[in-house]
Structure 1
Amino acid sequence: MKKRSTHLKRTVYCCAYLILLLIILSSCKKDKKKPDYPAGSNENINTWILDSLKRYYYWNEQLPADPNIGLSPKDFFNSVRNGADRFSYINIPNDAATVIPNNRNFGFDYVTVSDQNSTKIIGIIKLVLKDSPASRAGLKRGDYISKINGKTLTSANAQTLQEEILSSDRFSLGMAELNNNTWTDTRTIELAKGVILDQKEISKVMEINGKKIGYLYFLDFNGGLASSLGAVFSNFKNEGISNLILDLRYNSGGQVSEAAAICAMIAPNISFDKPFITYRGNKNGGTRTESIGTAATFDRTVNFNTLLQQNLGLSSVYILSTAATASASEVMINNLKPFIQVIQIGEKTRGKDEASFRIFDARNPKQVNWEMHPIIYKLFNAQGAGNYSAGIAPDVTENEINTLPLLPFGDEADPLVKVAIARITGKVAKSGISLNAKRSGGFQSGNILMDSRVQSAQRSMVITHR
């Protein structure tokens, strides 16, 4: 009886111990559960940001172990960004306070340069958007700027005055002309922000020395671009062009799907299943190769058979580039190479060999208004070539700013177009000989002090899908 009693006590003790252990473990689990932060608080938003980055971010394994989630969302995002990450960003759509501004709302881009032979500093209009405040004020490519907000441009204030433009809703430009090697101030114009619609392409067919040459310029790879270019490529095909000059000098990129669709209208022997692009992500995303057909039709704005009907089947393409050529434009250059000979003319590109897609709070109800575009993939072409973070170097180096005045896009005397035509027709272009050189004592471009288009390209992103 005594043994039975002892055994019973031991059983009771064991049960009590197990119950106590379960209570302790349960308590520990509750302690480890993430705190329930109030919706809209920095902690709540930053927890969502961090959880998203842990899943998608290319450098997710290098995220800080214990970041400060009490920071403002933008500061928090920047605090956890990898040191090798040059392009990821976060903002609230339609909230100007969270969006990095650029010149687009005014409708122009310009470069500030110094004279090789003097201390003269001048701004040169590179680009004027159609139906914009700049175009309505009469600005055109090649115009000269001497003053911004009444202040004469100098090497010391070139960047500061650009920042004044970006922080303003309205500002003034003092215009100038160069006649007989003398600069004269001409007029002052006021520009205010406006709504800018998508820009229409510029295209033409040139017949030079028996060669039919197509020329095509467009500003970005917005959704629906390839579909809108259908008529242009049909015209090129009907005209029987033998060569194409693709002007991407100021194109800072956009959608991979649009780049793939345009490639499908240029290169020979295209079929839906031909590999086009490889995405390499983190351990969660892995590596995947996408065909040109899948990539081109992902956004459902084009029919692949229609693209094939408009296909030019060219053996080579001439692509014009500058330091503002970025993102999906670089995808065009790099990913066309397995299909076709690419002759690149101009300057080294920006160097965006990475891609992102939009990450937003899809919960219902939505708790976070911020949206992210973190780097998610490294990009490679069908042959595995990529790693162009330092930019893609041209086959023929030519700087358009060395030849002034800047001419309209597609003009046969434009230095980049001129080199392409010379290559196509077999006539050697005298690269580097500028109109300036013929002006004794005239303005000759020296150092570039500020380039608003290049700065805008710095903030562009290759956009793909999940």
Structure 2
Amino acid sequence: MRKVTSATLLVGFICVFSACKEDDVISPTTLTVPETTKETNTTNSLVNNWAYDTMKDAYYWSSEMVSLSNLDVSLDPFSFFEKLIYNRETIDRFSSLTDDFEALENDFNGISKIFGLRYTIAYLDNSSTNLGLFLSQITPGSAAEAAGMKRGDVIITIDNQNITSANFSSLFSSSDTHSFGFGKLENDVWVSEGAVSVTSMVTEENPVAYSGIIDLPVSGRKLGYLLYTQFIPGSADEYDNQLRSIFADFKSNQVSELVLDLRFNGGGYISSAEVLSSLIGKNTKTSDIFYIEKWNESYESYLRSAYGSNYFNHSFLNEPNNIGNQLSRVFVLTSNSTASASELVINGLEPYMEVITVGENTYGKNLFGTLVGDEVNKSNYGIYVMLGETTNALGQSGYGTVDGITPDYYIEDNQIPYLPIGDYNETLFSQVLDILGEKTLASARLGNKTTVWRKNKFYMKEAEAKPLAKTIRTIPTATK
């Protein structure tokens, strides 16, 4: 019921292999596909027919899809796929086709070839010409971390070239090795401050980028702080177990306030969202609903018949290190990059405790999906398909728009250079301390801070245009 593997089939995929009628949905099973060499010359029509069958079976809006007879299967697969999407601009902003399934699967599991940079792009001056990359987070274990790069650094050149809107993408994609030139602000002018050469490498991102217990300066109480960047369980659930260990520490140290920093978190596996929420929920029991699923009509009918109506209700887990009874609320730091499973956690906790959101509007994804590889043609293509939507225990799911979740305290994270996570004067955390009535402390770096106009409000991950906004859910198998 958790991680997706290439051997897991959708319920109706059996129809694809056995040519049964679309409404003749039978019990799902699994198929182990023998190791074969992937074909590189698969025709457009073969890929497009597979894509159509996949979407027609599993897609949440399958009933809205145009008939295959009205489509040109000879089209480029990416052009063809877009004709299957339901209201791309406003509703399904997430389903996608890839011609490198393995790379996307690895990325969903936090493994990719990267420098290890997450940043905000903003103009360096009023001319709106030269851009700076304001580093908001460095991936632990990455090449950038090994090179000494840190949150708060500002990149003003790449390979000795100024960064502009016109050359940004090409600069990043031109090589696996770059010289990143840093700048600092002096008298309202950005001046050079050295450079480092960094070579990208395959990195498995630990989603726990920071955790700590912070003494509140006025009350002396303890606040737990978790910066969590992606919902991934890790091999043998190592990252989920790391969360459990962190909350055990929070519990034993009598943490009474909690900051969950999800400003960089674009989603991930629902299973990890269940673990995290079950460590936080106030007085939640395993009989309490965390979230409810909605599928397309065929799946709804089959799943209700096979497993009963309770199949769609997903409860909190029994987590011994839950700290909910020590908390009266939880603070969640948000941004336009906060998406999917992150929003699921916010929405799922709200019926049980006060959730105070601080930052900017979230991305707006109340959908869950899965990755499906093209085992029919043995090609490199794959689909990230939206299977359904989620609500909380109260049936609420109103954040699935471009406006996302509007924070309780709206504050733009545009004060740069960025201060370290957990610093009393860091923009979003400072707002939390104000809400708590805690006095913030002076920082020597405050004198060099300024407000910038960001080119976009995403915390970009290297050359990424927007968060992938992923929530991974496996398809039901014969045993639940």
Determine if the TM-score, normalized by the shorter chain, exceeds 0.5.
Answer: yes
Q: Which amino acid aligns with 1:290?
A: N
> Is 1:308 aligned to residue 284 of structure 2?
no
Choose the corresponding residue for 2:256, options 242, 245, 258: 242
TM-score by length of 1: 0.78
> Aligned to 1:206, what secondary structure does the other structure show?
strand
Structure 1 residues 89 and 117, CA gap change in structure 2 (3 angstroms): closer
2:286 match: 272
The structure that is helix-richer by fraction is: 1
2:291–2:393: 8 Å Cα contact kept in structure 1?
Answer: yes
Structure 2 gap ranges (5+):
1-40, 305-310, 476-480
Structure 1 letter corresponding to 2:277: C
Instruction: Give the Cα separation in 2 of the matches to 1:240 and 1:207.
Output: 11
The counterpart of 2:408, out of the listed 395, 398, 403, is 395
Are the aligned partners of 1:244 and 1:317 in contact in 2 as well (CA < 8 Å)?
yes
Deviations 1:388-444, CA, capped at 9 Å, x for gaps = 122101111122222x321111222212112112222x35889xx9999966xx853
* Deviations 1:365-403 (CA, angstroms, capped at 9, x unpaired): x6444221111112211111113122101111122222x
Question: Partner of 2:371: helix, strand, or coil?
Answer: coil
Distance apart, 1:151 and its partner CA: 2.2
CA contact (8 A) 2:44 2:73 kept: yes
| SS at structure 1 position matched to 2:172 | helix
Could you tell me the percent identity over the aligned residues?
27
TM-score, structure 2 normalization? 0.76
2:54 counterpart (42, 52, 55): 52
The corresponding residue for 2:273 is: 259
SS at match of 2:230: coil
Structure 2 CA distance for partners of 1:376 and 1:237, relative to 1, 3 Å? same
Q: Which has the higher contact order (CA 8 A, sep 6+)?
A: 2
> Partner of 1:227 in structure 2?
241
1:143 aligns to 2:157 (yes or no): no
Alpha-carbon deviation of 1:289? 2.9
CA distance in 1, matches of 2:245, 2:75: 51
In the other structure, the counterpart of 1:20 is none
**Aligned residues, how many?**
405
Match of residue 371 from structure 1:
382
Matched, 1:464 2:473: yes
1:148-159 pair list within 5 angstroms = 148-154=158-164, 156-157=165-166
Give how far 1:333 is off. 0.9
Out of 396, 399, 419, the position equivalent to 1:385 is: 396
Q: Using a 3 Å threshold, how does the CA distance of structure 1 residues 382 and 323 change in structure 2: closer, same or farther?
A: same
Partner of 1:67: 71
| Higher Cα Rg, which structure | 1
Report the equivalent of 1:415: 427
Task: Kindly report which structure 2 residues correspond to 1:86-165, keeping only aligned pairs within 5 A, or say none.
Answer: 86-91=93-98, 92-94=100-102, 105-114=114-123, 121-154=131-164, 156-157=165-166, 160-165=167-172
Looking at structure 1, the residues matched to 357 and 349 of structure 2 have their Cα atoms a distance apart, in angstroms, of 12
Structure 2 CA distance for aligned equivalents of residues 167 and 462 of structure 1: 31
Structure 1: stretches of 5+ with no match in the other structure: 1-38, 294-303
Q: C-alpha distance in 1, partners of 2:273/2:244? A: 14
Q: Secondary structure at the match of 2:134?
A: strand
Helix, strand or coil for the counterpart of 2:168?
helix
- Determine the C-alpha separation between the residues in 1 that align with 2:382 and 2:388: 18
Amino acid at match of 2:387: I
State the distance in 2 between where 1:409 and 1:153 align. 26
